[in-house]
Structure 1
Amino acid sequence: MPVRHFDGQLLRKVRRAADLTQGDIAERLGVSVPAVVGWESGKSAPDGEKLPALARALGMRLDELFPRVLPPDLADLRCDAGYSQYQTAAITGTRSAGPVANAERGRRRLAERFLPLLAQAYGVGVPELLAAQERSFRPGPDGTPPTDGPGRTSEPASDAVPTAPADLPRTLEEKIAHLLEATYTAPHPTDAQIAERGNATVNAQVLSEGLVRGLRTGEVRVVSDEVLDALAAALAVPPLFFRSDDAEVHRIISGMRLVSGGLAGIAARGGADGLPAELLDFIGGVVDGMRPK
């Protein structure tokens, strides 16, 4: 978890001293004015990778404006370099940000071939990167060391075939993060783009940029089925993904984006595997869309 200290009141004070408006900051960071208002009011905080750009916009050093509380872990190094998690796929040359995401969450250590690539991108040495990785694998609050699951060892993740995470996403924000960070083969959409796509798909004004951001960050946790349907449509998964805790459903959906070749077989098996009808309908629709017209 990022350990830099963010103070919204200090941000407001420094911005005003620099004779900048909230609109100036929003424009320089490519965010909305309401986002900056939320930061300064303490209702929200910017993503860690935005802090370097925010410090530059205000003409201050990163360590001065957002002091570090603890030594950096992998997520901190990435954020300090200004990279979002999904952008690391381009650094490692993998199909998704899965290898970095797993390492940051203390699930599976980085493959050796990724170390020099990430170290160079982050502007640190390999030893510093390895030290940060060990901090990401520190024992949890109950003293239990992180693992990849019962009876499994920490081995480099394959970048060719997606695997279900050892700790399946349960909350709404975890499920959104899983889709954006682990299964996308291209840069994930912005909150505004997700809202626009979802509304267009369900043909109704259900989502807004602020609502999507609240869902993604966990600030909004209780929503209607209508919102879940629009969110699912925007992220190209069946609504079942957000409503079910069925581990098998999650595994299948997690792999759908990258293993499209297996969809026809899943659809053909139908109910024989005991899969939920909503998931089978969705898979069937995907398969139909893949067939030549």
Structure 2
Amino acid sequence: MRAVRRAAEISQSDVASALGIADSTVAGWELGSSEPDQEKLPALAKVLEQPLDDLFPRHGLPDLTDLRCDAGLYRYETARVIGTKSDGPVAGAEQGVRPLKAKYLEALASEYGVTEDELRRAQERSAAKARGEEATDEAAVVTPAEQSPRTLAEKITLLLERSYSAGATPRDEEIAEAVNAYAGVQVVTADKVTALRTGAEAAAAPVVLEGLADFFGVSRLYFEPDDFVARQVYEGLRLMSATKKGKVGRVRARGLGPEGLPADVLSILNNLASELDEAAPDVDG
């Protein structure tokens, strides 16, 4: 960094002024006694008149945190982007605990300067990292060996297995509490959720299904008895499974390239977000 700065004939004070920090902070970075926040790297590269990828090359593919930092945003600033009271939804996705809701994808992708597909792929890498795994540069390979879920129990089980990292799977009590909060009244119990999840009961009231869809961050359509819709969701969840096996398509180092996986492979239900999703109350906010 010091060599680049001197070659460009830029003073430490100029760098500090551009970034809104103290001269001593820049000196500490150059001495190696401290490091800049990842969120400051884009501004630092700009003031040093160097491409971000050249000055701070990344090894491997970007996850959600990388994309946010490449946009120069601290996590707390994402609450403004997605219109929530806190950065909880983004924090959960970056930590691989819970995927982003469909209604947040467009705003975040636009702010990060990537496509929604690239944002989803970065999210899958964050989830893989949370499981202690690492995605490779191989093209995603999805085999049609398995059948898409048909029963309500199969659909709930699939979401629990594919959408959460190890140790983070929600308990039936948590699911029931979230559904009741969505409905505004008690419409389901933990025992009822257990019965639905295990197949002891095959059907649920519409308000319960809406609450489940809101909790899992998918469209209400997912729980409809429609084979086509179920297949679309299943393709997306199988992509998550491919990530777990290290079979994820390569994008350019910082997620800015035009390439992407085939649309049919990326047809996760979040692409099918309906007006109902947009109108639903924001529990995360």
TM range (shorter): 0.3 to 0.5
TM-score by length of 2: 0.48
**Greater Rg by CA:** 2
Query: Which structure's relative contact order is higher, taking Cα pairs within 8 Å and 6+ residues apart?
Result: 2
